[in-house]
Structure 1
Amino acid sequence: MKGHLLLIPSPLDFGTGGTGEAGGAAVPDIRQVLPMGALEAAAGLRHWVVENARTARAVLKRVNAVVPLAVPLQQLQIAELPRPPKGRAAQPAADLRPLLQPALQGHDIGLMSEAGMPAVADPGAALVAAAHGLDIAVRPLPGPSALLLALAASGLDGQRFAFNGYLPVDAAERAARIRELEGLSRRAVQAQLVIETPYRNEPLLAALLSTLQGSTRLSVSCGLTLAGGWTRSDTVARWRAQPRTLPADVPAVFVFQA
């Protein structure tokens, strides 16, 4: 019999190991953000495919403090997802079947992303697709998704929404994309979600405030699940009148709706 591909959620604090701080906020106990069922499933796995091996090991150390791992951390088989080359034209999709070989031999495999739910806004989706192509059963486990947490906290439309990933870095292209999404939001009555690398949080917020219409509602969720995490949801006009600085080392999710 074939094994399963288990989608193991991870904390939203980027696997700091639980001993330090993330953006000045104490890292929460892993039991506060992951269900016990997910912790037990993670502890029992011997084969992993992950986005970043260092982050995965840090998370698994935190799991081990709650539920002992089936084998020592050093004995786990941890493979990283291939990363597409930067600055090049689109490349053919990598063959991910070798990463799934343990499942074809009857072993369960865990998939872990850098933060949150694997395969959602995450390169792990390609591995999930490859698993389906090999008739390997995929089993998602419950855990935090920054996108859904931010949407829920925003007060904006939770029935009609779209996730748009990263906006262009070029200022003119970014502004054009923001206007395009604002128009789509108005026509479709739809909330729009975008994200950015933390060190670009402030430039993205500035671009949103300078481009969106004053009546458009903007919600920013920062440091979700951390002790100092917060969400502010208000009109762009009020954001402009009462600006707030965003940290450059804590993830944020931006939601707006015209």
Structure 2
Amino acid sequence: MSAALYLLPVTLGDTPLETVLPSYNKEVILRIHHFIVEDIRSARRFLKKVDREIDIDALKFYTLNKHTTPEELSGYLQPLEAGHSMGVISEAGCPAVADPGADVVAIAQKKNLRVVPLVGPSSIILSVMGSGFNGQSFAFHGYLPIEAGERAKKIKMLEQRVYTEQQTQLFIETPYRNNKMVDDILHNCRPQTRLCIAANITCEGEYIKTKTIKEWHGKVPDLSKIPCIFLLYK
């Protein structure tokens, strides 16, 4: 296996690995001894799930989060520059997609180091697949503004893009604010606009439903504390 920065997807929840990750991923992981991770504890749990016999204490972990300085981040790739493969592990799903791992990938590209993304679950792609919306043109916006006025303005702007650009619009919210998010969508969007709510993707209790704003009124399930992604289309 040639030296590279391997982007290692993890499950989106407590899902059996074999249902969402190829066996090849395990082969790659077991050859890597340097990992850049969002959270060391969850990364260690994931690696133990990959192989119960893995020697965690023999591995080197580098933390990548909002507190990591650019200088620290650049130094993380020294093992790769010395010819040792490294792996990037996020909290859930695919590294570098709506994830701080993108920063270290950018540095690797700038240094002309090999980058290899591996196959795994992405809530963005899977929700588009299950929504029935336009999969040729879509945009993911991450978190919307928290302030009520700004959030309403943003929702209306995204809905307008649906109609002017025929583009699917995706965004997320902190799980404990999901119900408030749906209320804001229903209050600010046109009755005929379609909303897809995709929750617990690939996990037990998976829920992916598409209805018009008018149809959703009075029929929204309790989404508190559940990982969700919201999609708008006409």
Q: For the superposition of Structure 1 and Structure 2, which TM-score range results when normalised by the shorter chain? A: over 0.9
1:60 paired residue among 47, 54, 59: 47
For residue 80 of structure 1, what is the aligned residue in structure 2?
63
1:48 corresponding residue in structure 2: 35
Q: What's 2:231 paired with? A: 255
Distance of 1:123 and 1:36 partners within structure 2? 26
The residue number in structure 2 matching 1:106 is 83
SS state at 2:217 partner: helix
TM normalised by structure 2 equals 0.95
- 1:7 corresponds to: 7
CA–CA distance in 1 between the matches of 2:29 and 2:179? Answer: 36
Q: Which of 158, 179, 193 is 2:135 aligned to? A: 158
Q: Which amino acid aligns with 2:49?
A: R
Post-superposition offset of 1:82 = 4.0
Count, aligned residues: 232
- Structure 2 distance, partners of 1:57, 1:247, is 28
Whichever residue aligns with residue 10 of structure 2, its letter is: S
Matched ranges for 1:14-25 at <5 A: none
Shift of 1:244: 1.9
Structure 1 segments of 4+ aligned residues over 6 angstroms from their partners: none
Post-superposition shift, 1:241?
3.9
CA contact (8 A) 2:36 2:87 kept: yes
CA RMSD of aligned residues (A): 1.4
Q: Where does 1:112-123 land on structure 2 (aligned, <5 Å)?
A: 112-123=89-100
Tell me the amino acid that sits aligned with residue 7 of structure 1: L
The TM-score normalised by the length of structure 1 is 0.86
Unaligned runs of 5+ in 2: none
| Residue 37 (structure 1) aligned with residue 24 (structure 2) | yes
Tell me by how many angstroms 1:185 deviates: 1.2
Q: State the alpha-carbon separation in 2 of the partners of residues 188 and 227 from structure 1.
A: 35
Structure 1 unmatched ranges of 5 or more: 14-26, 86-92
CA distance in 2, matches of 1:163, 1:102: 33
Residue in 2 that maps onto 1:233:
210
1:197 Cα shift? Answer: 1.4
| Kept after mapping to 2: 8 A contact 1:223/1:229 | yes
Same amino acid, percent of matched pairs: 38
